[in-house]
């Protein structure tokens, strides 16, 4: 949909901010521009809505050179979100969001109705409508920024480090919300960040740029993690890229054992029967099948299991939606080294050892090196969960 064709930006002082950049930004997906400070990400984004004009090269929107469109028409088709939201401080939240519809000549009530609808879509409580930006938290202000950019329903959203100024927990919430909005609305989003984790989480495609405004690699995140194009990209991805890559492989294929799982009202025979298995621990569940904790079998007395003496089971994982990374994390954090799998209602479906997870990881890496990356469907499913 957006094609950047050999674009260079030279600022009047001679700085080459972007150097012969070519990118095909796919329709209805999130393309992330990532790279170190000063590598030309913002300049690239601003050339797409002509806040900055290229020195050379062309940018096409639906095969039409953006230079041939009046700037106002172009910008109306592109929502723009920046760090710290850039809200109008003297306008209420509702009127901030209604700004563009009002500019487009919509009536006041219709614009406000649209603004209310968008508040709900971006997860903002309607009670905030009459407040002013300074009465909102940073995360809430960013949500208003996103709602405002969506107000006129533009097909394209340009986002420049929109979530950089908020704390990690709020940031994760905003990222999850953006993925959900993208899924619901199918916008074409170009997203700038300097945070590779954010890029990997959000991007359908990720463009890694290097200082001097040159493209280092343009690939889906799983491929970036499995096959960095060169030492610069590898270095930028960081030391734990092998672990992070596991986010793209589902935990669904792990073989779960049910033998080492007993209910809190288990009989002496059931507990004793466990001696024949290789697992040194038993996971005790409540009568409803929810995990309570681990114990060595010899410490359990049938009819008198003391739940407060059990070892904590840590955080369980859900095989159907979680990734191998999540399963590994559960096993690493578990005092027994075994991870607990549960269904979406929190009932135990089995347990799995670090060793079994390690074997699955070896299999996943081998699969990734054969094909370049895991299949597209699995990758997308794992994005939020991983």
Ligand X SMILES: Nc1ncnc2c1ncn2[C@@H]1O[C@H](COP(=O)(O)OP(=O)(O)OP(=O)(O)O)[C@@H](O)[C@H]1O
Nearest approach, Cβ of residue 233 and ligand X (Å): 16
3-state helix, strand, coil in the chain (%, to 5): 40, 25, 35
Evaluate whether 9 touches 17 at the Cβ level (below 8 Å): yes
Residue 42 C-beta: closest distance to ligand X, Å = 3
Closest approach of ligand X to the CB of residue 159, in Å: 12
Q: Residue 40 or 221: which CB sits closer to ligand X?
A: 40
Nearer to ligand X, 39 or 216 (CB): 39
Closest to ligand X by CB, 17 or 146: 17
Q: How far apart are CA 311 and CA 96, in angstroms?
A: 52
- Taking Cα atoms as reference points, which of 234, 154, 207 lies closest to residue 31? 207
Q: Nearest distance from residue 17's CB to ligand X, in Å?
A: 3
Q: What is the dihedral of CA 123, 201, 148, 121, to 10 degrees?
A: -30
Cβ proximity to ligand X, 10 vs 180, nearer residue: 10
Minimum Å gap between C-beta 119 and ligand X is 29
Q: Nearer Cβ to ligand X, position 41 or 383? A: 41
Nearer of residues 40 and 101 to ligand X, judged by Cβ = 40
Cβ atoms of residues 325 and 386 within 8 Å: yes
Q: How far is the CB of 176 from ligand X (least distance, A)?
A: 23
Q: Please state, in angstroms and rounded to a whole number, the distance separating the CA atoms of residues 34 and 51.
A: 20
**Any long-range contacts for 94-97 (C-beta under 8 Å, 24+ apart)?**
94/119, 94/129, 94/130, 96/133, 96/144, 96/148, 97/144, 97/147, 97/148, 97/151
Of 203 and 374, which CB lies nearer to ligand X in the complex structure? 203
Cα–Cα distance measured from residue 148 to residue 101, given in angstroms and rounded to the nearest whole number: 9
Which residues here bind ligand X, judged by CB under 6 A?
Answer: 11, 13, 15, 17, 35, 37-43, 194
Shortest Cβ 217–ligand X spacing (Å): 16
DSSP code per residue over 20-45: EEEEEE-TTSEEEEE-STTSSHHHHH
Please check whether residue 373 is in contact with residue 379, taking contact to mean a CB–CB distance below 8 angstroms: yes
């Amino acid at each position: 949909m957006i094609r950047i064709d050999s674009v260079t930006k030279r600022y009047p002082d001679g700085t080459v901010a972007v150097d012969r950049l070519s990118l095909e930004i796919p329709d209805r997906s999130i393309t992330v521009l990532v790279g170190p400070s000063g590598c030309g990400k913002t300049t690239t984004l601003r050339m797409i809505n002509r806040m900055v004009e290229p020195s050379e090269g062309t940018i096409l929107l639906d095969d039409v050179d953006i230079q041939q469109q009046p700037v106002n028409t172009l910008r109306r088709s592109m929502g723009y979100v920046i760090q710290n939201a850039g809200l109008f401080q003297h306008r209420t939240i509702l009127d901030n969001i209604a700004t563009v519809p009002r500019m487009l000549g919509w009536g006041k009530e219709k614009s406000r109705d649209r603004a209310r609808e968008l508040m709900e879509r971006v997860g903002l409580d309607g009670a905030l409508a009459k407040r002013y930006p300074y009465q909102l938290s940073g995360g809430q202000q960013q949500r208003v920024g996103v709602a405002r950019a969506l107000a006129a329903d533009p097909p394209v959203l340009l986002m420049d480090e929109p979530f950089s100024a908020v704390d990690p927990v709020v940031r994760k919430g905003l990222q999850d919300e953006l993925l959900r909005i993208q899924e619901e609305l199918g916008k074409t989003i170009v997203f700038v960040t300097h945070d590779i984790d954010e890029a990997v989480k959000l991007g359908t495609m990720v463009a890694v740029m290097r200082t001097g405004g040159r493209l280092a690699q343009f690939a889906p995140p799983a491929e970036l993690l499995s096959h960095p194009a060169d030492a610069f990209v590898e270095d930028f991805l960081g030391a734990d890229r092998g672990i992070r890559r596991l986010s793209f492989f589902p935990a669904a294929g792990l073989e779960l054992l049910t033998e080492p799982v007993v209910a809190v009202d288990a009989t002496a025979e059931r507990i004793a029967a466990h001696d024949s298995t290789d697992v040194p621990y038993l996971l005790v569940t409540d009568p409803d099948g929810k995990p309570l904790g681990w114990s060595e079998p010899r410490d359990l007395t049938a009819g008198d299991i003391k739940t407060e003496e059990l070892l904590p089971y840590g955080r369980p994982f859900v095989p159907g939606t979680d990734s191998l990374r999540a399963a590994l994390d559960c096993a690493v954090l578990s005092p027994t080294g075994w991870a607990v799998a549960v269904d979406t209602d929190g009932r135990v479906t089995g347990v799995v050892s670090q060793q079994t997870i390690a074997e699955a990881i070896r299999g996943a890496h081998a699969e990734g090196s054969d094909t370049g990356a895991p299949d597209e469907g699995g990758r997308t499913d794992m994005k939020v969960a991983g």
